[in-house]
A and B are shown apart, each in its own frame.
Chain A
Amino acid sequence: MDILLVLAIPCYMAAFARGAPLPESSAQVADQQFQGVVQRSRSLTQKILLSIPDAHESCVHAEALKLDSPQNAKLAVMASNIGIPSAPVLRVVSESFSLEAVLRNVSEGLQLHRALLRSVSPRLQNKDKVAALLADIKDLIIQINKMVKMANGEAAVQPSPSPSPVVLRLPGEYDVQVAAHLSLGQLQSFGRDVLRCLRSLDRSGEEEAES
Chain B
Amino acid sequence: MKSTPAWVAVVVLLPALVNGARNEVDAQPCATVLASGSVVPLGSPVTATCVIRDDCPLVAGQAVRIEWRLGDRILPGGPADAEGGRVSRVVIPSFNLTREFLTCCVQASPAQVVAGVEIRAGYPPEAPQNLSCTTNLTNPNTLTCSWDAGQQETHLHTKYTLHTQIWDSNENNTYEPPPGVHRYSIPRSGFVLFSDIRISVKAVNELGEATSAPLVLEPVSAAKFDPPTIVRIQTKKYGCLQLSWNLSQQQAWMVNWRLDLEVRRRLAVQAVSGQWSEQPILLNGVKTTRSVDLCRLLHGTRYLAQIRVRYQGGPWSEWSSSRSGVTLENAPSGRLDWWMKASWEGMEKQLNILLFWKPSKQFRANGQNVSYAVSGKKLAGANGKVCSTTGNYCSFHLPRGVKKVYLSAVNAVGKSSPTEVRIHPPRAREVVSNVTVVPQDDRSLLVRWRSQLSSGLTGFVVEWRPLLQTDLSFTQFEFTAQNQTQLLIAGSFEPYKPYGISVYPRFKDGIGFPQTVDAYSREKAPSMAPKIQIKKVWKSHVELAWDEIPLEQRNGCIQNYTVFYCDPKGNFQVVNADPKERRVVLNGLNSESLYEAFLMVSTLGGSLNGSTVHFKVENFDAAAVVEIVTVSLVGLLLAGIIVVGTCFSNKRLKGHFWPAVPDPANSSIKRWTSESTQDSNVAFDNEEPNPMYLSHLSFLDVPVKPRKKDDDPWLSNAEDTSDLGESICGSPLPTDYSGSNSDSVPYATVVFSGPRNSTTPEDPHVYLRSESTQPLLETEESFSPKCYHNMATAGMPSEQCFFGPSPDCVPETGEGGGELWDDFPFLRALALNDTEND
| Distance between B196 CB and nearest chain A CB, rounded to angstroms | 11
**Contacting pair B141 A132 (CB below 8 A):** yes
A206 to B285, CA, bound (A): 14
Q: Which residues of B contact A135 (CB under 8 A)?
A: 141, 188-189
| Distance between A33 CB and nearest chain B CB, rounded to angstroms | 13
Q: A43-B256, A43-B257, A206-B289 in contact; A139/B140 too (CB < 8 A)?
A: no
Among A46-54, A79-87, A158-166, A168-176, the stretch that binds chain B is A46-54
A44 to B141, CA, bound (A): 13
A47 to B257, CA, bound (A): 13
**Contacting pair B255 A131 (CB below 8 A):** no
B489 within 8 A of A: no
Total number of residue pairs linking A and B with CB closer than 8 Å: 61
Q: Which residues of A contact B193 (CB under 8 A)?
A: 40, 44, 136, 139
| Distance between A154 CB and nearest chain B CB, rounded to angstroms | 14
**Contacting pair A208 B256 (CB below 8 A):** yes
Q: Which residues of B contact A188 (CB under 8 A)?
A: none
B253 within 8 A of A: yes
> Which residue of chain A has its CB nearest to the CB of B141?
A132
**Contacting pair B255 A46 (CB below 8 A):** yes
A135 to B219, CA, bound (A): 13
**Contacting pair B287 A132 (CB below 8 A):** no
The one of B140, B168, B249, B256 in contact with A146, judged by C-beta atoms closer than 8 angstroms, is B168
A134 to B190, CA, bound (A): 11
**Contacting pair B141 A39 (CB below 8 A):** no
**Contacting pair B139 A129 (CB below 8 A):** yes
The one of B188, B250, B287 in contact with A131, judged by C-beta atoms closer than 8 angstroms, is B188
A207 to B290, CA, bound (A): 11
A139 to B643, CA, bound (A): 137
B585 within 8 A of A: no
A138 within 8 A of B: yes
Interface string of A82-109 (1 = CB under 8 A from B): 0000000000000000000000000000
A132 to B187, CA, bound (A): 9
**Contacting pair B253 A39 (CB below 8 A):** no
> Which residue of chain A has its CB nearest to the CB of B250?
A50
Q: A138-B192, A139-B194 in contact; A43/B253 too (CB < 8 A)?
A: yes
Q: Which residues of B contact A128 (CB under 8 A)?
A: 140
**Contacting pair B194 A40 (CB below 8 A):** yes
| Distance between A202 CB and nearest chain B CB, rounded to angstroms | 8
**Contacting pair A139 B195 (CB below 8 A):** yes
Q: Which residues of B contact A129 (CB under 8 A)?
A: 139
Interface string of A119-130 (1 = CB under 8 A from B): 000000000110
The one of B140, B169, B257 in contact with A142, judged by C-beta atoms closer than 8 angstroms, is B169
A143 within 8 A of B: yes
Q: Which residues of A contact B255 (CB under 8 A)?
A: 43, 46, 208-209
B170-213: which have CB < 8 Å to A?
187-189, 192-195
**Contacting pair A131 B189 (CB below 8 A):** yes
> Which residue of chain A has its CB nearest to the CB of B171?
A138
Interface string of A34-77 (1 = CB under 8 A from B): 00000110111011001000100000000000000000000000
B254 within 8 A of A: yes
**Contacting pair B139 A139 (CB below 8 A):** no
**Contacting pair B192 A50 (CB below 8 A):** no
**Contacting pair B168 A206 (CB below 8 A):** no
**Contacting pair A134 B189 (CB below 8 A):** yes
Interface string of B232-271 (1 = CB under 8 A from A): 0000000000000000011011111100000000000000
**Contacting pair B194 A143 (CB below 8 A):** yes
**Contacting pair B139 A54 (CB below 8 A):** yes
Q: A44-B193, A131-B188, A142-B169 in contact; A206/B139 too (CB < 8 A)?
A: no
Q: Which residues of A contact B257 (CB under 8 A)?
A: 39, 43
Interface string of B714-732 (1 = CB under 8 A from A): 0000000000000000000
**Contacting pair A50 B188 (CB below 8 A):** no
| Distance between A47 CB and nearest chain B CB, rounded to angstroms | 4
Interface size on B, residues (CB 8 A): 22
| Distance between A210 CB and nearest chain B CB, rounded to angstroms | 11
Q: Which residues of B contact A131 (CB under 8 A)?
A: 187-189
Q: Which residues of A contact B250 (CB under 8 A)?
A: 50
> Which residue of chain B has its CB nearest to the CB of A39?
B256
Q: Which residues of B contact A138 (CB under 8 A)?
A: 169, 189, 192
A128 to B192, CA, bound (A): 17
A39 to B259, CA, bound (A): 14
Interface string of A167-211 (1 = CB under 8 A from B): 000000000000000000000000000000000000010111100
A143 to B187, CA, bound (A): 20
| Distance between A110 CB and nearest chain B CB, rounded to angstroms | 14
Q: Which residues of A contact B141 (CB under 8 A)?
A: 132, 135
A106 to B189, CA, bound (A): 21
Q: A128-B140, A132-B141, A139-B195 in contact; A46/B289 too (CB < 8 A)?
A: no
| Distance between B164 CB and nearest chain A CB, rounded to angstroms | 14
Which of A134, A143, A204 has the largest number of chain B CB atoms within 10 A? A143
> Which residue of chain B has its CB nearest to the CB of A133?
B188
A204 to B257, CA, bound (A): 11
Q: Which residues of B contact A54 (CB under 8 A)?
A: 139
**Contacting pair A44 B253 (CB below 8 A):** yes
Q: Which residues of A contact B256 (CB under 8 A)?
A: 39, 42-43, 204, 206, 208
A46 to B289, CA, bound (A): 15
**Contacting pair B139 A132 (CB below 8 A):** yes
| Distance between A58 CB and nearest chain B CB, rounded to angstroms | 10
Q: Which residues of A contact B140 (CB under 8 A)?
A: 128, 132
| Distance between B576 CB and nearest chain A CB, rounded to angstroms | 80
Q: A39-B256, A138-B169 in contact; A44/B188 too (CB < 8 A)?
A: no
| Distance between B761 CB and nearest chain A CB, rounded to angstroms | 139
Q: Which residues of B contact A207 (CB under 8 A)?
A: 289
The one of B139, B188, B252 in contact with A46, judged by C-beta atoms closer than 8 angstroms, is B252
A104 to B172, CA, bound (A): 26
A206 to B254, CA, bound (A): 14
Q: Which residues of B contact A142 (CB under 8 A)?
A: 168-169, 192, 194-195
| Distance between A142 CB and nearest chain B CB, rounded to angstroms | 5
Q: Which residues of A contact B169 (CB under 8 A)?
A: 138, 142
> Which residue of chain A has its CB nearest to the CB of B255?
A208
B117-135: which have CB < 8 Å to A?
none
| Distance between A176 CB and nearest chain B CB, rounded to angstroms | 21
| Distance between B352 CB and nearest chain A CB, rounded to angstroms | 68
Q: Which residues of A contact B188 (CB under 8 A)?
A: 131-132, 135-136
A131 to B189, CA, bound (A): 7
Q: Which residues of A contact B195 (CB under 8 A)?
A: 139, 142
A207 to B255, CA, bound (A): 11
Interface string of A136-149 (1 = CB under 8 A from B): 10110011001000
A176 to B760, CA, bound (A): 167
**Contacting pair B287 A206 (CB below 8 A):** yes
Q: Which residues of B contact A206 (CB under 8 A)?
A: 256, 287, 289
Q: Which residues of A contact B253 (CB under 8 A)?
A: 43-44, 46-47, 50
**Contacting pair B254 A43 (CB below 8 A):** yes
Q: Which residues of B contact A208 (CB under 8 A)?
A: 255-256, 289
> Which residue of chain A has its CB nearest to the CB of B169?
A142
| Distance between A175 CB and nearest chain B CB, rounded to angstroms | 26
| Distance between A36 CB and nearest chain B CB, rounded to angstroms | 9
Q: Which residues of B contact A134 (CB under 8 A)?
A: 189
A132 to B138, CA, bound (A): 11
**Contacting pair B194 A44 (CB below 8 A):** yes
A134 to B141, CA, bound (A): 12
A136 to B252, CA, bound (A): 15
Q: Which residues of B contact A39 (CB under 8 A)?
A: 256-257
11 inter-chain pairs at a CB distance below 8 angstroms, sorted by A residue, are A39-B256, A39-B257, A40-B193, A42-B256, A129-B139, A132-B141, A136-B188, A139-B192, A142-B169, A142-B192, A206-B287
Question: Lowest 8 A-B CB distances belong to which pairs?
Answer: A46-B253, A47-B253, A40-B194, A135-B188, A135-B189, A142-B168, A132-B188, A139-B192
**Can you name 16 extra interface pairs (CB under 8 A) apart from A139-B192, A204-B256?**
A40-B193, A40-B194, A43-B253, A50-B250, A131-B189, A132-B139, A132-B141, A135-B141, A136-B188, A138-B169, A142-B192, A142-B194, A146-B168, A206-B256, A207-B289, A208-B256
